[in-house]
Amino acid sequence: MTELAHRWVPGATSIAGIGATDFSKHSGRSPLTLAVQATRAALADAGIDPREVDGIVRCDMDLVSAPALADSLGVRDLTYWGEAGPGGSGPAAMVAQAAAAVSAGLASTVVVFRALNGRSGNRYGLVGERGAAGGEGSYDEFFLPFGMQTAGQFFAVVARRYAHEHGMSVDKLSEGLASIALACRSHANNNPAAQFHGRTMTREEYFASRMLSDPLRLFDYCLESDGACAVVVTSTERARDLASVPVPIISAAQGTGACVQPGLMFPALLRPSITTWPSAAAAPTLFGRAGLTPADIDVAQIYDCFTITTLIQLEDYGFVPRGQAAHLTEDQLTTGGTLPLNTSGGHLSEAYIHGMNHVVEGVRQIRGTSTNQVAGAEVCLVTSAPPPGASALILGVDR
Amino acid sequence: MTGTETTTVGPVVPVVDDVDTGEFFAAAARGELAVRQCAGCRADLHLPRECCPHCGELSRTWRTVTPRGTLYSWTVVEHQVHPAHPTPYTVVLVELDEAPTVRLLGHLDGRPSLTIGQPMVVEFVDVEGVRLPHWRPAAEEESDHE
């Protein structure tokens, strides 16, 4: 980090409000309506009139533009907008961008949102069905014609390599992946908003689920979901006068590491390592800005498009040494354990809102309002996916 | 190398005329495996692009490499996504013997028995007029690297 990068002021900005829609397989609404509903909920939570919003940060893959959302909210004048990504690498970076805009004086009330009909609308993975694949910097020509077409297939290749590098059988790795899936599922079972609220799962049921892309099974995959989440970012000083308890942004970081490769996801198979991700680059920046270490984290919301994604991040962020995340048990990862994670159920069992529901749940933990509340939680890590890049937040209590 | 053997695996064809990547497919059409190489520092640059991140040189030079590699990882796809790729099939990720920073994909039917680190060889496959370098396990006599 350069000297300039140290100018981050921990806790200068806060998340003042959170909001979410219902999560479903068929919302029956446009992404714009979902975005408006989640944003209105977040603004109501903060006690802010929607017309007062002056900034919006969106995900680069969202179908809803900043002006479209501003229009529906009745905003008088949107004076700041921005976006981050790529895709699931975005949410923590989106919050960071909102915080930066507030700190720089470019805006005072910034909405950060993600809205998608991820099940009933454009489903991921249905790529390369039309015409020739690739070109224009996508590099898909080296992947789609060879049968690699989905994120699940990509992460399956990563998972097998991980097992090989750490000298463990694929079955042993799956035991560790199961622990993550089971932790998320048990948390979802306590969360009425989760899509898997009513569906329990045993380790045997995990292993009995059908193989989709060996070694990844159905329950290593996240849910495809319709829904939206939003948060409101403002200065901590102002947030203290608003309706809800402020949740200060203690740290925020983004990272790619070296040799990140062009393209979106598949080109990451060309990196020097496919089992260490950009999250390993973001981690020292994140903890350095906060003056904290992994041992200070009370609870974590770790991006989980697939179980293996979470497992590798647990090592990238330094919670366990390389090769050890596969040995974690469900008890260690659930409320009451040493590293409770994804306390809403995560992407695996609550909903796939592309990393944004992790931000909302992180705020709940600091407020003490999670349906899987970690007793005395004061420091929460929120991560947004590798591989295209990684971003992360540390949320804390206002002192 | 068995460049004269051709089979058809489906209609997902690559863009072959991209300014940065087209030479890879042009070489494949000639039965060659080509790797983008920086004209300045001679670093292999895959995925292909003009600007070398190591020395900053802009170039469009390529080199031909022996079509042999080592299996880096793989997945057996069991869930059908694309109609052109009936399941089960296997996607292999292969590291090139003569360009170890370069990894390429190949498609194999079914669930072949594989081991990470095993020798692989290119098998050119024609798909709707485009020749693709796929990979298959090397036969014993082909894996002799001496």
Q: What is the pLDDT of residue A123?
A: 74
pLDDT one-digit tens code per residue, A84-96: 999 999 999 999 9
- E strands, B80-145, are 89-96, 99-109, 119-127, 130-137
Whether ipTM tops 0.90, in short, is: yes
For residues B132 and B96, membership in a common domain is answered with: yes
Helices (H) and strands (E) in chain B, counts: 1, 7
Q: What is the pLDDT of residue A126?
A: 55
Q: Is the pLDDT of residue B4 over 60?
A: no
Show Cβ contacts of residue A15 under 8 Å, excluding neighbours closer than 6 positions: A95, A231, A232, A233, A239, A246, A247, A249, A359, A363, A395
> Using CB atoms, which residue from A128, A152, A157 is nearest to B93?
A157
Mutate to test the interface with A, among B20, B77, B80, B131 (most CBs of A within 10 A): B77
**In-domain check, residue B37:** yes
Q: What is the pLDDT of residue B5?
A: 44
Average pLDDT, chain A: 96
Q: Domain limits at B117?
A: 67-146
Sequential DSSP letters for B11-77: S-PBP---TTTHHHHHHHHTT-EEEEB-TTT--B-SS--SB-TTT--B---EEEE-SEEEEEEEEEE
* 8 Å CB contact of A149 and B47: no
Positive or negative: CA dihedral A262, A266, A267, A269: positive
Residues A43, A49 contacting (CB under 8 angstroms): yes
* 8 Å CB contact of A145 and B74: no
Structure tokens at A115: 């809205």
| Region of residue A28 (phi > 0: left; psi between -120 and 50: alpha; otherwise: beta) | left
Total domains, chain B = 2
In 10 A of CB A179, how many CB atoms? Answer: 24
Domain at B78, CATH number: 2.40.50
B103: which strand partners?
B95
Q: Which residues of A258-289 are buried (b: 16+ CB within 10 A; e: fewer)?
A: eebbebbbbbbbbbeebbbbbbbbbbebbbbb
Q: What is the pLDDT of residue B143?
A: 62
Q: Which residue has the tokens 């080296």?
A: A142
Q: Is the pLDDT of residue B145 over 80?
A: no
Average pLDDT, chain B: 91
Distance between CA atoms of A317 and A296, rounded to whole angstroms?
Answer: 12
> Using CB atoms, which residue from B16, B91, B102 is nearest to A146?
B91
Distance, CA of B141 to chain centre: 21
**In-domain check, residue B92:** yes
Q: What is the pLDDT of residue A385?
A: 87
**Interface residue B91 vs chain A (CB under 8 A):** yes
**In-domain check, residue B2:** no
Q: Report the CATH architecture of A4-121+222-396.
A: 3-Layer(aba) Sandwich (3.40)
pTM of the full structure: 0.95
Residues A148, B105 contacting (CB under 8 angstroms): yes
For residues B74 and B56, membership in a common domain is answered with: no
For residues B50 and B100, membership in a common domain is answered with: no
Task: Choose among A240, A276, A242, A243: nearest CA to A258.
Answer: A276
**In this prediction, what percent of chain B has a pLDDT beyond 90?**
82
* 8 Å CB contact of A128 and B12: yes
**Cα nearest neighbour of A141 on chain B:** B14
Distance between CA atoms of A292 and A314, rounded to whole angstroms?
Answer: 16
Structure tokens at A193: 């908003």
Q: Is the pLDDT of residue A1 over 70?
A: no
For residues B41 and B31, membership in a common domain is answered with: yes
* CB half-sphere exposure, B77, CA atoms < 13 A: 27
Structure tokens at A386: 């590798």
Q: Where are the domains of chain A?
A: 4-121+222-396
The answer to whether residue A352 is catalytic is yes
Task: Choose among B73, B72, B78, B39: nearest CA to B57.
Answer: B39
Determine which one of A162, A221, A303, A317 is catalytic. A303
Residues B121, B70 contacting (CB under 8 angstroms): no
In 10 A of CB B127, how many CB atoms? Answer: 20
For residues B60 and B71, membership in a common domain is answered with: no
**Interface residue B97 vs chain A (CB under 8 A):** no
**In-domain check, residue B8:** no
**Cα nearest neighbour of A139 on chain B:** B47
Distance between CA atoms of B115 and A85, rounded to whole angstroms?
Answer: 36
pLDDT one-digit tens code per residue, A238-295: 999 999 999 999 999 999 999 999 988 999 999 999 999 999 999 999 999 999 999 9
**In this prediction, what percent of chain A has a pLDDT beyond 90?**
93
Residue B6's pLDDT band (boundaries 50, 70, 90)? very low
Q: What is the pLDDT of residue A3?
A: 60
> Using CB atoms, which residue from A143, A156, A263 is nearest to B75?
A156
For residues B54 and B107, membership in a common domain is answered with: no
Q: Which residue has the tokens 């990684």?
A: A390
Distance between CA atoms of A266 and A378, rounded to whole angstroms?
Answer: 37
Q: What is the pLDDT of residue A129?
A: 52
Distance between CA atoms of A217 and A151, rounded to whole angstroms?
Answer: 13
Residue type at B103? Answer: R
pLDDT one-digit tens code per residue, B92-108: 999 999 999 999 999 99
pLDDT one-digit tens code per residue, A3-58: 655 689 999 999 999 999 999 999 999 999 999 999 999 999 999 999 999 999 99
Q: What is the pLDDT of residue B1?
A: 39
Averaged pLDDT, B8-29: 88
For residues B58 and B90, membership in a common domain is answered with: no
Structure tokens at A78: 């949107």
For residues B43 and B111, membership in a common domain is answered with: no
Averaged pLDDT, A378-395: 95
Chain A: give the shortest CA distance to residue B4, in Å: 19
Mapped onto helix, strand or coil, the DSSP state of residue A125 is coil
**In-domain check, residue B26:** yes
Q: What is the pLDDT of residue A125?
A: 58
Q: Is the pLDDT of residue A131 over 90?
A: no
Mutate to test the interface with B, among A123, A141, A271 (most CBs of B within 10 A): A141
Give the C-alpha distances (Å, rounded to integers) separating B88 from A149, A174, A347, B68, B138.
14, 20, 27, 25, 21
**In-domain check, residue B4:** no
Q: Is the pLDDT of residue B40 over 80?
A: yes
Residues A343, A299 contacting (CB under 8 angstroms): yes
Residue type at B134? Answer: H
Q: Is the pLDDT of residue B146 over 50?
A: no
Torsion of CA A193, A198, A199, A200, to 10 degrees: 100
The conformation of residue A235, written as its DSSP 8-state character, comes to E
Strand order in the sheet with A110-117: A80-84, A55-59, A110-117, A226-235, A13-20, A247-255, A390-396, A379-384, A299-301
Instruction: State the count of interchain CB pairs (< 8 A) between A and B.
Output: 127
For residues B96 and B145, membership in a common domain is answered with: yes
For residues B33 and B92, membership in a common domain is answered with: no
For residues B76 and B54, membership in a common domain is answered with: no
A contacts of B132 (beta carbons < 8 Å):
145-146
Averaged pLDDT, A195-210: 98
Q: How would you classify the pairing of strands A226-235 and A13-20?
A: antiparallel
For residues B47 and B83, membership in a common domain is answered with: no
Structure tokens at B125: 């496959």
**In-domain check, residue B5:** no
Residues B34, B10 contacting (CB under 8 angstroms): no
Mutate to test the interface with A, among B16, B46, B79 (most CBs of A within 10 A): B79
**In-domain check, residue B24:** yes
